[in-house]
């Protein structure tokens, strides 16, 4: 007979590894990855209640060793572990169970409980083979797991399927004890929100029921506060809602009637808002003094569009007026130079001296002024007045006249003159409106009011420029706007109103500048130069080079052999100087200089043993309140060229705070040694010495158009090379023997070592590529077949090549495949491993507390191990057990490159 089999809870007979997790990498806790532990617990197995008071352990290595001795199949691959009840004629079994009856043919048998470990395909429970009891190999499945290369992984508990829930049918008539006044909570999903459905009935029970309201519940007011009538009205008024005069009670009723549901409205502040009424409680609520209370209206103001900042939102009056003013300006510009020149004034000292504007002149006619002294240049740096142009523009429109319409348009380009008539007019469309109903075309007082001439100063030419009103073409059968069959665009009718009355024409005010002047160059700005003869080459001479840049030459310095603007020796500022004082010294002695050791510096380099470099040491203090108020908190180091026989070593010392900004611009071969304090340091268009600590510091600010360089300054410096933006180690690989390679103390010997060889940076400092050294160092007890090993992965630091973690702004992915092989003597064959791998790093991120960084990725290996008996290789490269195949030696590294993903 087959009885039920189940446990009572998740922890009963739970399967795990002995004393540790299932991880097997060297940088984690050592594990016993071959010993299974089955927790204590209670269960029913084949109808018998059993209880284990202590854990049970199974050593798979010992089990397989015993199997080999007995000639049985070893346990490997995908395995299952469980319990079964079996029969025995001996009473010596641990946990033996006597049969229930001594009067049957089974009186001499004992029942016992046995731990079963079998391949998953051979593990059969009664529920899997209900019609073939003879195939049953176990009664209760506890877990499945994988056993490859001497390692147990992927333990999967048979939970909750190993448990059983008993039906409490012995408790009856529960529904009869409930009346229609109560609802049952059975069957409700705790992850959802429900509402009582009122008089809704459950068709199964006829009782009131619940309705799933998860998709409707929204938080509109997370802190609703009931208010009295006067508070209710004041709150509405403060939010811009119009209030009806009278008592507070009347005002409340008016507001509730105006906003029976959520509506959009325009507030007294000309802002557009959505007004949402609260759902009031059916029964009245009162203050402690007995005054009635209501929940107030909630007003959500919509963001307003900002024309200057290009931000979206609703359009307010200011925005509309601004657009209208631009439209009018465009209309004015349309007329510019469309006419002819009426006069030329050589010098204009007063605009009253302009020729009188003849009203018969056409719009667009103009007057030229050679030198316009009416334009105020007193607050500018110009030396003479500009030339200007005064254009005739139309007068201000005060009335229009309806002239006709065009039907069934799709776009304005469909407008054509009808029969050579006036529709549409040939002038400028000054303004167009859209409305749902056809406009008035007979009463001038009505249609003139459409355009609000009393509020807007439209300029337009009489009988030529016009206004338009568009109305949709409605299908009478459907009540919706008609669609053009060919274009698929909506159809509309356009009604035209031409300018009928306008004021006098006038000149543009202010006039249009025709000429401008480039101010002369100063010491603090770019500008023009006074003309000098071509022979004046010894006092500074400006030329335009092939790239269009202005350059200054001084031939007297070149002829004399003196190097202009030389930074020849160490420079250091005094402590306690203000930022502006330090900037003045930098501009005087450091900026725009070529670093080239003078005689004094060369003597120190040759005799004192100092590095061949020029130190620029800056002592900075925290910004003072006066400097912050005057915005004098920026220090600029710029245009230092140190490509000639030396380099500049920059040291920023002192206690500068975050109010101070240091900009390093247009410098060649500069090295930053120290940044003390907390200033912001930005790097622009400069060639920077590779120092991972400095780059990590600059990552928090701005890096633009950076290039890299490197040289060993002393024998203890890292042995690196820099090829443009790629930094490469050329000595030993960056491998930490106890951290970043795979290892295990279990019977297998799988070792995967990897190290960093190079990194590639983009111009903004982001790490966008890398190359890795990888090898499979497994040389014993390698099981034949395929297996996958994966773990967390961090691009390794150490040795010579260190990198700035904060510049890991993108994921780096390296993928590769290689062969490793070694010889074994017994049996005589080669063990070959075809290894593929993928290493995927993660971006640098800072946790919410601002401290911990998360940069861990994953690395995964796929190994296909197999044996080769026939190895025909050249002598000395693998012909016997003492030889090896050089390119496939497990101890040799392989090089792979990768790049950024996102």
pLDDT per residue as tens digits for the range 584-610: 999 888 988 888 777 777 877 787 777
H/E stretch holding 823 reads: strand 812-824
Note the pLDDT tens digit of each residue in 331-374. Answer: 655 555 567 888 889 899 999 999 999 988 888 888 888 889 99
SS3 call for 857 = strand
> Would you say 125 and 2 are in contact if contact means Cβ atoms under 8 Å apart?
no
Structure token digits, residue 503: 């004021």
Average pLDDT of span 115-140: 90
CA distance 566 to 641: 10
SS3 call for 864 = strand
The predicted structure's pLDDT at residue 23: 40
**b vs e for 721-743, b when ≥16 Cβ sit within 10 Å of the residue's Cβ?**
ebeebebbbeeebbbeeeebbbb
Q: How confident is the model at residue 86 (pLDDT cuts 50, 70, 90)?
A: confident
> Would you say 388 and 372 are in contact if contact means Cβ atoms under 8 Å apart?
yes
Q: Which stretch of 84-98, 501-515, 579-593, 717-731 has the lowest confidence by average pLDDT?
A: 84-98
Beta bridge partners of 663: 636, 682
Q: Which stretch of 90-94, 321-325, 638-642 has the lowest confidence by average pLDDT?
A: 90-94
First to last CA, the chain: 62
Structure token digits, residue 578: 């203000």
The predicted structure's pLDDT at residue 445: 93
Q: Does residue 735 have a pLDDT over 60?
A: no
The predicted structure's pLDDT at residue 878: 46
Q: Does residue 66 have a pLDDT over 70?
A: yes
Q: Does residue 181 have a pLDDT over 80?
A: no
The predicted structure's pLDDT at residue 132: 85
**Which of the two residues, 381 and 53, has the higher pLDDT score?**
53
Output helix, strand, coil percentages for the chain, rounded to the nearest 5. 15, 35, 50
CA distance 72 to 849: 58
Note the pLDDT tens digit of each residue in 839-852. Answer: 998 888 776 666 65
Q: Does residue 855 have a pLDDT over 60?
A: yes
Average pLDDT of span 430-452: 91
Q: How confident is the model at residue 17 (pLDDT cuts 50, 70, 90)?
A: confident
DSSP code for 17: E
Give CA separation, 677 vs 636, 653, 695, in Å. Answer: 17, 8, 16
Give CA separation, 147 vs 115, 650, 840, in Å. Answer: 17, 59, 26
Average pLDDT of span 804-817: 92
> Would you say 425 and 498 are in contact if contact means Cβ atoms under 8 Å apart?
yes
Average pLDDT of span 453-482: 88
> Would you say 404 and 410 are in contact if contact means Cβ atoms under 8 Å apart?
no
Structure token digits, residue 593: 């200089």
> Would you say 751 and 740 are in contact if contact means Cβ atoms under 8 Å apart?
no
The predicted structure's pLDDT at residue 814: 95
- At 286, give phi and psi (nearest 5°): -135, 160
Note the pLDDT tens digit of each residue in 281-316. Answer: 777 788 888 888 988 999 998 888 876 567 888 887
Q: Does residue 105 have a pLDDT over 80?
A: no
CA distance 397 to 66: 109
Q: Does residue 532 have a pLDDT over 90?
A: no
Q: Does residue 95 have a pLDDT over 50?
A: no
Q: How confident is the model at residue 468 (pLDDT cuts 50, 70, 90)?
A: very high
User: Of 276, 270, 316, whose CA–CA distance to 300 is shortest?
Assistant: 276
The residue count of the chain comes to 902
Note the pLDDT tens digit of each residue in 753-780. Answer: 888 889 999 999 999 999 988 888 887 7
Q: How confident is the model at residue 705 (pLDDT cuts 50, 70, 90)?
A: very high
The predicted structure's pLDDT at residue 349: 93
Q: Does residue 635 have a pLDDT over 90?
A: yes
Domains of the chain, by residue range, sit at 6-157, 229-301, 397-502, 566-709, 720-900
Candidate ranges 69-78, 164-173, 779-788; pick with highest mean pLDDT: 69-78
Percentage of the residues of the chain whose pLDDT score is greater than 90: 30
The predicted structure's pLDDT at residue 171: 54
Q: Does residue 116 have a pLDDT over 80?
A: yes
| CA-only gyration radius of the chain, Å | 45
Residues sharing a CB contact under 8 Å with residue 446, sequence separation 6 or more, in sequence order: 440
Q: Residues 825, 828, 831, 832: is their CA dihedral positive or negative?
A: positive
CA distance 40 to 10: 11
Task: DSSP for 711-742, please give it.
Answer: --SSTTS--EEEETTEEEE-SS-B--TTTSB-
Percentage of the residues of the chain whose pLDDT score is greater than 70: 78
Q: How confident is the model at residue 155 (pLDDT cuts 50, 70, 90)?
A: very high
Tell me what the pLDDT averaged over the chain comes to.
81
The predicted structure's pLDDT at residue 419: 35
The predicted structure's pLDDT at residue 168: 57
CA distance 393 to 396: 10
pTM, rounded to two decimals:
0.45
The predicted structure's pLDDT at residue 22: 41
Residues sharing a CB contact under 8 Å with residue 201, sequence separation 6 or more, in sequence order: 207, 208, 209
SS3 call for 887 = helix
> Would you say 682 and 664 are in contact if contact means Cβ atoms under 8 Å apart?
yes
Q: Which residue has the tokens 């409700």?
A: 188
Q: Does residue 412 have a pLDDT over 50?
A: no
- At 558, give phi and psi (nearest 5°): -65, -40
User: Of 828, 859, 856, whose CA–CA distance to 843 is shortest?
Assistant: 856
Average pLDDT of span 30-39: 79
Q: Does residue 25 have a pLDDT over 80?
A: no
Neighbours of 622 (CB within 10 A): 17
Is residue 760 classed exposed, middle or buried when 0-12, 13-18 and 19+ CB atoms within 10 A define those classes? buried
Sheet holding 41-45, edge to edge: 6-7, 41-45, 48-52
Note the pLDDT tens digit of each residue in 244-285. Answer: 888 988 999 999 889 989 999 888 777 889 999 988 877 778
Task: DSSP for 369-431, please give it.
Answer: EEEETTS--TTS--SSPPPEEEEEE--BEEEEEEEEEEEEESSGGG---STTSSSS-SS-EEE
Q: How confident is the model at residue 816 (pLDDT cuts 50, 70, 90)?
A: very high
Q: Which stretch of 723-727, 768-772, 853-857 has the lowest confidence by average pLDDT?
A: 853-857
The predicted structure's pLDDT at residue 562: 46
């Amino acid at each position: 007979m087959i009885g039920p089999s189940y446990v009572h809870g998740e922890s009963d007979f739970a399967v795990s590894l002995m004393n540790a997790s299932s991880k097997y990498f060297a940088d984690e806790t050592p594990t016993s990855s071959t010993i299974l532990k089955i927790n204590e617990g209670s269960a029913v197995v084949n109808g018998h209640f059993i209880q284990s008071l202590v854990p049970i352990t199974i050593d798979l290595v010992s089990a397989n060793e015993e199997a080999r001795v007995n000639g049985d199949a070893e346990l490997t691959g995908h395995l299952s572990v469980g319990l079964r009840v079996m029969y025995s004629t001996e009473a010596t079994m641990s946990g033996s169970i006597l049969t229930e009856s001594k009067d049957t043919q089974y009186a001499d048998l004992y029942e016992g409980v046995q731990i079963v470990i079998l391949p998953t395909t051979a593990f059969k429970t009664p529920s899997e083979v209900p019609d073939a009891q003879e195939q049953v190999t176990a009664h209760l499945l506890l877990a499945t797991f994988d056993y490859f290369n001497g390692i147990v992984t992927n333990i999967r508990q048979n939970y909750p399927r190993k448990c059983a829930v008993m039906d409490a049918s012995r408790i009856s008539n529960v529904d009869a004890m409930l009346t229609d006044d109560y609802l049952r909570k059975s069957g409700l999903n705790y992850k959802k929100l429900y509402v009582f459905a009122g008089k809704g009935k459950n068709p199964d029970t006829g009782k009131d029921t619940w309705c799933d309201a998860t998709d409707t519940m929204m938080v509109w007011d997370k802190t609703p506060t009931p208010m009295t009538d006067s508070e209710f009205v004041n709150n509405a008024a403060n939010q811009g809602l119009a209030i009806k005069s009278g008592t507070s009670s009347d005002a409340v009723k008016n507001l509730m009637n105006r906003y029976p549901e959520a509506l959009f409205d325009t507030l007294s502040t000309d802002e557009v808002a959505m007004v949402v009424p609260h759902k009031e409680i059916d029964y009245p609520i009162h203050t402690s003094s007995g005054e009635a209370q209501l929940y107030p209206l909630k007003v959500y103001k919509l963001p307003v569009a900002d024309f200057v900042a290009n931000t979206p939102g609703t359009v307010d009056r200011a925005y509309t007026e601004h657009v209208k003013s631009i439209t009018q300006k465009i209309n004015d510009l349309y007329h510019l130079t469309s006419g002819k020149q009426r006069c030329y004034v050589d010098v204009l000292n007063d605009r009253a001296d302009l020729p009188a504007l003849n009203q018969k002149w056409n719009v667009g006619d103009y007057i030229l002024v050679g030198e316009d002294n009416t334009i105020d240049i007193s607050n500018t740096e110009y030396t003479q007045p500009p030339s200007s142009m005064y254009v005739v523009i139309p007068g201000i429109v005060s009335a229009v006249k309806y002239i006709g319409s065009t039907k069934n348009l799709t776009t304005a380009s469909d407008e054509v003159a009808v029969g050579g008539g006036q529709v549409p007019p040939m002038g400028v469309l000054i303004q167009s409106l859209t409305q749902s109903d056809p406009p008035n075309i007979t009463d001038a007082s009505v249609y003139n009011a459409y355009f609000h001439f009393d509020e807007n100063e439209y300029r337009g030419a009489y009988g030529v420029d016009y206004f338009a009103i568009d109305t949709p073409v409605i299908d009478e059968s459907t009540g919706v706007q008609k669609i053009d069959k060919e274009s698929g665009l909506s159809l509309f009718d356009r009604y035209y109103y031409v300018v009928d009355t306008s004021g006098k024409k006038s000149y543009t005010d202010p006039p249009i500048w025709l000429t401008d002047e480039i101010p002369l160059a100063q010491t603090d700005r770019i500008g023009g130069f006074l003309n000098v003869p071509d022979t004046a080459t010894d006092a500074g001479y400006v030329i335009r080079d092939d790239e269009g840049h202005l350059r200054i030459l001084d031939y007297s310095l070149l002829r004399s052999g003196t190097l202009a603007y030389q930074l020849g020796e160490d420079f250091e500022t005094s402590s306690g100087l203000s930022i502006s004082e330090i900037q003045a010294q930098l501009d005087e002695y450091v900026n725009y200089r070529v670093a080239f050791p003078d005689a004094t510096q060369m003597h120190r380099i040759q005799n004192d043993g100092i590095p061949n470099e020029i130190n620029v040491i800056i002592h900075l203090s925290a910004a003072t309140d006066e400097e912050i108020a005057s915005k004098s908190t920026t220090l600029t180091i710029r245009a230092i060229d140190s490509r000639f026989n030396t380099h500049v070593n920059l040291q920023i010392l002192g206690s500068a705070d975050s109010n101070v900004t240091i900009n390093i611009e247009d410098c060649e071969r500069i090295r930053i040694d120290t940044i003390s304090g907390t200033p912001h340091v930005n790097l622009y268009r400069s060639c920077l010495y590779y120092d991972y600590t400095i780059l990590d510091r600059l990552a928090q600010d701005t890096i633009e158009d950076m290039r890299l360089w490197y040289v060993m300054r002393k024998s203890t410096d890292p042995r690196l090379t820099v090829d443009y933006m790629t930094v490469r180690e050329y000595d030993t690989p960056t491998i930490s023997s106890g951290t970043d390679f795979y290892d295990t103390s279990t019977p297998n010997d799988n070792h995967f070592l990897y190290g960093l060889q190079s990194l590639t940076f983009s111009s903004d400092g982001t790490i966008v590529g890398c190359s890795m050294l990888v090898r499979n160092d497994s040389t014993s007890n390698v099981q034949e077949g395929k297996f996958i090993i994966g773990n967390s992965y961090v691009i390794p630091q150490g040795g010579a090549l260190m990198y700035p973690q904060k510049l890991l702004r993108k994921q780096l992915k390296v993928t590769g495949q290689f062969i490793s092989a070694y010889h074994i003597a017994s049996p005589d064959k080669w063990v070959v491993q075809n290894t593929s791998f993928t290493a995927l790093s993660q971006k640098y991120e800072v946790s919410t507390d601002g401290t911990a960084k998360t940069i861990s990725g994953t690395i995964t290996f796929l190994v296909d191990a197999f044996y080769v008996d026939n190895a025909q290789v050249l002598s000395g490269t693998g012909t016997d057990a003492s030889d090896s195949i050089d390119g496939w030696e497990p101890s040799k590294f392989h090089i792979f490159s990768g790049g950024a993903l996102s």
